[in-house]
A and B are shown apart, each in its own frame.
Chain A
Amino acid sequence: MNEREAAWPLSLRLLHWVSAGLMVPALGLGVYTVQWVHDPAARFELTQTHKGIGITILALTVVRLCRRGFVRAPEAAAAPWLRLAANAAHAALYLLLLAMPLSGWLMATTTPVRVPTIVLGLFALPYPLAPDLGLYRFARTAHVALAVAFAALILLHIVAAFGHALIWRDQTLRRMWRPSRAVGDAGEAYAAMSGAD
């Protein structure tokens, strides 16, 4: 069980890519809606979609962190400073994956314009706090600031992933998409996958 894997398990790889596939549109949709949508009905619809995506990300992140707790990170042949930086960046990404939707939830809960958030078309998200304009304004400022930080960190994450693949030429990027195998089988697994491509 403690043997180091060459790649992340399928569940975490899936959760990573699904989160990425939701997070980037959520950020884009947030900026686009606030900056460029001036039709009230479109604004309403897009905000509802944005909230729905956000709350899905929150649920996925909770599942992901629970799963992550039971998995040792795959082998990564990187310099100690790089590993340290990567760990810090990943911790920040996880933190933001929680803080972004939570600050959005706080906005949706405390705003005087309280519109139900429907989760995956199934049920209305509970709003645990009473409307509070001061708290809403704080939550909105936090949501925007966190979004800027998140966008910057995602960019860094992508640049680093390509850096690993193209400059340092290590297995870091591959372990997020190839099938999980024991270290000894890594070369074989990679060869098999390259062949399949």
Chain B
Amino acid sequence: MHKFVSSKSTLAAAALSLCLLARPATCAQSWRIDEANTRIAFKIDAVGFPTTQGSFAHYSGRILIDFDRPAKSFTAFTVDSRSVNVGSPSFSDFVKSAALLNVDRYPTMSFTSTQVEKVDASTAQVTGNLTMLGVSRPLTLTVNVERDPLSKGHAVAFVATGKIARSDFGMLFGIPLIDDTLEITVKTRAVSDE
């Protein structure tokens, strides 16, 4: 039990908790997204300009976790592109403009998982489709899974990271002075109310 609540808790341990202790019969379960602990962020480097980091304030998402059969797990997020924040109103407005996110034409972007693979005790690989600027491309996210030791098995923290080539989505602005590669980090916490 001590191992179970250690900070390096694992998918296997979480599965044990859920399937043996909490929900022995049905393991595929929808979890609530804890908004206070969720951040959908990105980072992009440039030549002659500081690294720009931004986040999206508004989104909706679903997380279904099956700890017994991780492959049955599923997630989908839709982000309101207009809620982008890169640190100042006019800079954010520029990021929303047609040159970049083109939010008037494409008000949302979304990710839907197609495959979840357990890599090791605390890591999963989630593959899915990212739709941005009306273009869908496969994206693989590496997800660190950590059970909240204080939640008695009712909360799991995820940190998903991945990289995209924004040119794949037709976002060519600033290349090569602004990197083509954009780093995505989604930190979230899923909570089971049961």
Do A39 and B174 touch across chains, with their CB atoms under 8 A apart? no
Say whether A41 faces chain B, with CB atoms less than 8 Å apart.
yes
Do A45 and B91 touch across chains, with their CB atoms under 8 A apart? yes
Do B52 and A112 touch across chains, with their CB atoms under 8 A apart? no
Residues of A65-103 at the interface with B, using a CB-CB cut-off of 8 Å, are none
A44 surroundings in chain B (CB, below 8 A): 88, 90-91, 94
Do B178 and A113 touch across chains, with their CB atoms under 8 A apart? yes
Residues of B75-89 at the interface with A, using a CB-CB cut-off of 8 Å, are 86-88
Do A113 and B88 touch across chains, with their CB atoms under 8 A apart? no
Smallest CB–CB gap between B173 and chain A, Å? 7
Once A40-B52, A43-B50, A45-B91 are accepted as A-B contacts, the answer to whether A112 and B175 lie under 8 Å apart by CB is yes
A40 surroundings in chain B (CB, below 8 A): 49-53, 86-87, 91
- Size bin of chain B's contact surface: 10 to 19
Do A43 and B86 touch across chains, with their CB atoms under 8 A apart? no
Cα of A38 to Cα of B87 in the assembled complex, Å:
12
Say whether A31 faces chain B, with CB atoms less than 8 Å apart.
no
Most chain A CB inside 10 Å of its own CB: which residue of B52, B86, B91: B91
Cα of A50 to Cα of B178 in the assembled complex, Å:
21
Residues of A10-48 at the interface with B, using a CB-CB cut-off of 8 Å, are 37-45, 48
Do A41 and B178 touch across chains, with their CB atoms under 8 A apart? no
What is the 8 Å Cβ interface bit string for chain B, positions 105-148, against chain A (1 contact, 0 not)?
A: 00000000000000000000000000000000000000000000
Smallest CB–CB gap between B50 and chain A, Å? 5
Do B173 and A133 touch across chains, with their CB atoms under 8 A apart? no
Do B87 and A39 touch across chains, with their CB atoms under 8 A apart? yes
Do B46 and A133 touch across chains, with their CB atoms under 8 A apart? no
A111 surroundings in chain B (CB, below 8 A): 177
Considering the complex, give the chain A residue whose CB is closest to the CB of B94.
Answer: A115
Interface size on A, residues (CB 8 A): 16
Most chain A CB inside 10 Å of its own CB: which residue of B53, B88, B175, B176: B88
B86 surroundings in chain A (CB, below 8 A): 40-41
B173 surroundings in chain A (CB, below 8 A): 112-114
Most chain B CB inside 10 Å of its own CB: which residue of A41, A115, A133: A41
A39 contacts which of B46, B50, B175 (Cβ < 8 Å)?
B50
Smallest CB–CB gap between A119 and chain B, Å? 15
Residues of B84-105 at the interface with A, using a CB-CB cut-off of 8 Å, are 86-88, 90-91, 94, 99
22 A–B contacts from the bound complex (CB under 8 Å) = A37-B50, A39-B50, A39-B87, A40-B49, A40-B50, A40-B51, A40-B52, A40-B53, A41-B86, A41-B88, A42-B87, A42-B88, A44-B88, A44-B90, A44-B94, A45-B88, A45-B91, A48-B90, A112-B173, A112-B176, A113-B49, A114-B99
Residues of chain A having any CB pair with chain B under 8 Å: 37-45, 48, 111-115, 133
Q: Which 7 A-B residue pairs are closest in the complex by CB-CB distance? A: A41-B87, A41-B88, A44-B91, A40-B52, A113-B174, A41-B91, A40-B50
- Can you add 20 more A-B contacts, CB < 8 Å, to A43-B50, A44-B91? A40-B49, A40-B51, A40-B53, A41-B86, A41-B87, A42-B87, A44-B88, A44-B90, A48-B90, A111-B177, A112-B174, A112-B175, A112-B178, A113-B173, A113-B177, A113-B178, A114-B99, A114-B173, A115-B94, A133-B177
